[in-house]
Amino acid sequence: MRYLKIFLRSLLAGFCIVFGATCYLICASQGSYALKIVGSFLFGIGLFTIIHFGFYLYTGKAAYVFDNKSNYILDLLICVIGNLIGVVLLSLLLKSTHIINDSIVALAKSLVSVKQSSNWYEIIILGAMCGIMIYLAVEGHKVAPYAIGKVLFAFMPISLFILCGFEHVVANACYYTYAGVFNGKVVLWFILMALGNALGSIAIHELIKLIKKLDLKKSE
Protein backbone atom coordinates (compact mmCIF):
# COMPACT_ATOMS: atom_id res chain seq x y z
CA MET A 1 0.00 0.00 0.00
CA ARG A 2 2.87 2.36 0.84
CA TYR A 3 4.55 1.85 -2.51
CA LEU A 4 1.25 2.18 -4.35
CA LYS A 5 0.74 5.57 -2.69
CA ILE A 6 4.24 6.64 -3.72
CA PHE A 7 3.57 5.53 -7.28
CA LEU A 8 0.23 7.35 -7.53
CA ARG A 9 1.65 10.55 -6.04
CA SER A 10 4.55 10.26 -8.49
CA LEU A 11 2.18 9.71 -11.40
CA LEU A 12 0.31 12.91 -10.51
CA ALA A 13 3.59 14.79 -10.19
CA GLY A 14 4.40 13.67 -13.73
CA PHE A 15 1.09 15.12 -14.91
CA CYS A 16 1.93 18.45 -13.24
CA ILE A 17 5.30 18.60 -14.98
CA VAL A 18 3.60 18.05 -18.34
CA PHE A 19 1.33 21.04 -17.70
CA GLY A 20 4.34 23.24 -16.98
CA ALA A 21 6.47 21.90 -19.84
CA THR A 22 3.64 22.19 -22.36
CA CYS A 23 2.92 25.76 -21.32
CA TYR A 24 6.59 26.59 -21.78
CA LEU A 25 6.68 25.02 -25.26
CA ILE A 26 3.53 26.88 -26.33
CA CYS A 27 5.06 30.20 -25.25
CA ALA A 28 8.57 29.50 -26.57
CA SER A 29 7.29 28.27 -29.95
CA GLN A 30 5.93 31.74 -30.71
CA GLY A 31 9.45 32.95 -31.52
CA SER A 32 9.50 35.76 -28.94
CA TYR A 33 12.21 35.68 -26.27
CA ALA A 34 9.91 37.62 -23.95
CA LEU A 35 7.31 34.86 -24.27
CA LYS A 36 10.06 32.28 -23.72
CA ILE A 37 10.82 33.97 -20.39
CA VAL A 38 7.14 34.05 -19.50
CA GLY A 39 6.83 30.37 -20.39
CA SER A 40 9.86 29.45 -18.29
CA PHE A 41 8.30 31.22 -15.32
CA LEU A 42 4.90 29.60 -15.83
CA PHE A 43 6.63 26.21 -15.95
CA GLY A 44 6.97 26.62 -12.19
CA ILE A 45 3.24 26.06 -11.70
CA GLY A 46 4.05 22.37 -12.03
CA LEU A 47 6.40 22.31 -9.03
CA PHE A 48 4.22 24.74 -7.09
CA THR A 49 1.28 22.35 -7.45
CA ILE A 50 3.44 19.34 -6.55
CA ILE A 51 4.65 21.01 -3.36
CA HIS A 52 1.20 22.07 -2.18
CA PHE A 53 -0.56 18.79 -2.94
CA GLY A 54 2.23 16.63 -1.58
CA PHE A 55 2.94 14.83 -4.84
CA TYR A 56 6.28 13.01 -5.33
CA LEU A 57 8.80 14.41 -7.80
CA TYR A 58 12.08 12.53 -8.13
CA THR A 59 14.19 15.67 -8.47
CA GLY A 60 12.58 17.10 -5.36
CA LYS A 61 13.16 13.96 -3.29
CA ALA A 62 16.64 12.80 -4.36
CA ALA A 63 18.52 15.27 -2.14
CA TYR A 64 17.42 13.55 1.07
CA VAL A 65 18.78 10.07 0.34
CA PHE A 66 21.32 10.24 3.20
CA ASP A 67 18.68 11.53 5.62
CA ASN A 68 16.66 8.32 5.29
CA LYS A 69 17.01 4.55 5.61
CA SER A 70 18.36 2.39 2.78
CA ASN A 71 14.85 1.55 1.51
CA TYR A 72 14.56 5.21 0.45
CA ILE A 73 16.46 4.18 -2.70
CA LEU A 74 13.49 1.98 -3.64
CA ASP A 75 11.16 4.90 -2.94
CA LEU A 76 13.17 7.03 -5.37
CA LEU A 77 13.13 4.31 -8.01
CA ILE A 78 9.35 4.00 -7.79
CA CYS A 79 9.10 7.78 -7.79
CA VAL A 80 11.08 8.31 -11.00
CA ILE A 81 9.26 5.45 -12.74
CA GLY A 82 5.91 6.93 -11.72
CA ASN A 83 7.01 10.40 -12.84
CA LEU A 84 8.11 9.16 -16.26
CA ILE A 85 4.99 7.05 -16.82
CA GLY A 86 2.80 10.00 -15.87
CA VAL A 87 4.67 12.32 -18.21
CA VAL A 88 4.61 9.97 -21.18
CA LEU A 89 0.92 9.07 -20.77
CA LEU A 90 -0.30 12.65 -20.51
CA SER A 91 2.09 13.88 -23.22
CA LEU A 92 0.79 11.23 -25.62
CA LEU A 93 -2.77 12.21 -24.78
CA LEU A 94 -2.09 15.90 -25.43
CA LYS A 95 -0.13 15.09 -28.57
CA SER A 96 -3.32 13.61 -30.03
CA THR A 97 -5.03 17.02 -29.78
CA HIS A 98 -4.65 20.24 -31.77
CA ILE A 99 -2.87 21.85 -28.80
CA ILE A 100 0.40 20.20 -29.80
CA ASN A 101 0.80 21.72 -33.25
CA ASP A 102 3.65 21.53 -35.76
CA SER A 103 5.56 24.45 -34.25
CA ILE A 104 5.56 22.85 -30.80
CA VAL A 105 6.68 19.50 -32.20
CA ALA A 106 9.42 21.26 -34.17
CA LEU A 107 10.64 23.04 -31.04
CA ALA A 108 10.58 19.78 -29.07
CA LYS A 109 12.61 18.08 -31.82
CA SER A 110 15.11 20.94 -31.77
CA LEU A 111 15.54 20.68 -27.98
CA VAL A 112 15.90 16.91 -28.16
CA SER A 113 18.43 17.14 -30.98
CA VAL A 114 20.68 19.35 -28.86
CA LYS A 115 20.44 16.95 -25.93
CA GLN A 116 21.15 13.88 -28.07
CA SER A 117 24.20 15.51 -29.65
CA SER A 118 25.69 16.44 -26.26
CA ASN A 119 28.53 14.53 -24.64
CA TRP A 120 27.68 12.18 -21.78
CA TYR A 121 29.52 14.31 -19.24
CA GLU A 122 27.60 17.41 -20.36
CA ILE A 123 24.35 15.61 -19.57
CA ILE A 124 25.58 14.78 -16.06
CA ILE A 125 26.87 18.31 -15.41
CA LEU A 126 23.73 20.01 -16.69
CA GLY A 127 21.64 17.46 -14.80
CA ALA A 128 23.51 18.32 -11.61
CA MET A 129 22.90 22.05 -12.15
CA CYS A 130 19.20 21.32 -12.55
CA GLY A 131 19.26 19.24 -9.37
CA ILE A 132 20.64 22.24 -7.49
CA MET A 133 17.92 24.50 -8.87
CA ILE A 134 15.13 22.10 -7.93
CA TYR A 135 16.59 21.70 -4.44
CA LEU A 136 16.70 25.48 -3.99
CA ALA A 137 13.10 25.73 -5.17
CA VAL A 138 11.80 23.01 -2.84
CA GLU A 139 13.91 23.83 0.21
CA GLY A 140 13.59 27.57 -0.32
CA HIS A 141 9.83 27.21 -0.36
CA LYS A 142 10.03 25.37 2.97
CA VAL A 143 12.21 27.88 4.80
CA ALA A 144 10.97 31.19 3.35
CA PRO A 145 9.17 33.02 6.18
CA TYR A 146 6.76 34.98 3.98
CA ALA A 147 4.21 33.87 1.39
CA ILE A 148 5.74 35.94 -1.41
CA GLY A 149 9.13 34.39 -0.69
CA LYS A 150 7.65 30.88 -0.91
CA VAL A 151 6.11 31.70 -4.28
CA LEU A 152 9.32 33.22 -5.66
CA PHE A 153 11.41 30.25 -4.53
CA ALA A 154 8.98 27.83 -6.19
CA PHE A 155 9.11 29.69 -9.51
CA MET A 156 12.44 31.52 -9.98
CA PRO A 157 14.87 28.55 -9.88
CA ILE A 158 12.58 26.73 -12.32
CA SER A 159 12.69 29.65 -14.74
CA LEU A 160 16.46 29.75 -14.39
CA PHE A 161 17.04 26.06 -15.15
CA ILE A 162 14.76 26.26 -18.19
CA LEU A 163 16.46 29.34 -19.65
CA CYS A 164 19.93 27.94 -18.96
CA GLY A 165 19.13 24.62 -20.60
CA PHE A 166 19.82 22.45 -17.57
CA GLU A 167 18.67 18.84 -17.82
CA HIS A 168 15.58 17.72 -15.87
CA VAL A 169 14.96 14.02 -16.37
CA VAL A 170 11.18 14.24 -15.83
CA ALA A 171 10.55 17.38 -17.90
CA ASN A 172 12.70 16.02 -20.71
CA ALA A 173 10.39 13.01 -21.01
CA CYS A 174 7.69 15.43 -22.16
CA TYR A 175 9.95 16.96 -24.84
CA TYR A 176 11.07 13.54 -26.08
CA THR A 177 7.48 12.31 -26.27
CA TYR A 178 6.34 15.31 -28.29
CA ALA A 179 9.40 14.91 -30.53
CA GLY A 180 8.69 11.21 -30.98
CA VAL A 181 12.29 10.24 -30.27
CA PHE A 182 13.11 6.98 -28.50
CA ASN A 183 16.08 4.65 -28.88
CA GLY A 184 18.83 3.02 -26.86
CA LYS A 185 20.78 6.24 -26.48
CA VAL A 186 17.70 7.95 -25.06
CA VAL A 187 17.53 5.35 -22.29
CA LEU A 188 21.21 5.90 -21.45
CA TRP A 189 20.82 9.69 -21.54
CA PHE A 190 17.85 9.52 -19.17
CA ILE A 191 19.85 7.43 -16.72
CA LEU A 192 22.63 10.05 -16.87
CA MET A 193 20.09 12.86 -16.40
CA ALA A 194 18.61 11.13 -13.36
CA LEU A 195 22.09 10.56 -11.95
CA GLY A 196 23.07 14.18 -12.54
CA ASN A 197 19.86 15.49 -10.94
CA ALA A 198 20.55 13.37 -7.85
CA LEU A 199 24.22 14.34 -7.60
CA GLY A 200 23.50 18.05 -7.79
CA SER A 201 20.69 18.05 -5.24
CA ILE A 202 22.54 15.75 -2.82
CA ALA A 203 25.71 17.82 -3.04
CA ILE A 204 24.01 21.14 -2.25
CA HIS A 205 21.95 19.58 0.54
CA GLU A 206 24.97 17.99 2.21
CA LEU A 207 27.01 21.20 1.91
CA ILE A 208 24.25 23.20 3.57
CA LYS A 209 24.05 20.61 6.36
CA LEU A 210 27.83 20.87 6.85
CA ILE A 211 27.68 24.65 7.07
CA LYS A 212 24.93 24.43 9.67
CA LYS A 213 27.00 21.97 11.73
CA LEU A 214 30.05 24.24 11.56
CA ASP A 215 27.92 27.21 12.64
CA LEU A 216 26.65 25.23 15.63
CA LYS A 217 30.18 24.25 16.68
CA LYS A 218 31.30 27.84 16.36
CA SER A 219 28.51 29.06 18.64
CA GLU A 220 29.27 26.48 21.35
Amino acid symbol at 61: K
Q: What is the mean pLDDT of each run of 10 residues along the chain (220 residues)?
A: 94 98 97 94 96 96 94 96 98 97 97 97 98 96 91 94 97 98 96 98 96 77
Residue 219: its pLDDT value, please?
A: 67
219 found inside a domain: no
C-alpha to C-alpha distance for 192 and 38, rounded to whole angstroms: 29
Q: What is the CATH number of the domain that holds 154?
A: 1.20.1080.10
216 found inside a domain: no
| Full DSSP string of 160-187 | HHHHHT---HHHHHHHHHHHT--SHHHH
> What's the DSSP call for residue 220?
-
- The number of domains in the chain is 1
What distances in angstroms separate CA 28 from CA 22, 115, 154, 210, one per listed residue?
A: 10, 17, 20, 40
220 found inside a domain: no
Name the residue among 33, 12, 4, 18 with its Cα closest to residue 108: 18
130 found inside a domain: yes
C-alpha to C-alpha distance for 64 and 139, rounded to whole angstroms: 11
C-alpha to C-alpha distance for 57 and 62, rounded to whole angstroms: 9
* CA atoms within 13 Å, Cβ hemisphere of 54: 2
Q: Give the structural domain span for 148.
A: 2-211
C-alpha to C-alpha distance for 138 and 142, rounded to whole angstroms: 7
218 found inside a domain: no
C-alpha to C-alpha distance for 205 and 169, rounded to whole angstroms: 19
C-alpha to C-alpha distance for 70 and 209, rounded to whole angstroms: 19
Name the residue among 193, 156, 199, 198 with its Cα closest to residue 176: 193
Residue 85: its pLDDT value, please?
A: 98
Residue 121: its pLDDT value, please?
A: 97
186 found inside a domain: yes
141 found inside a domain: yes
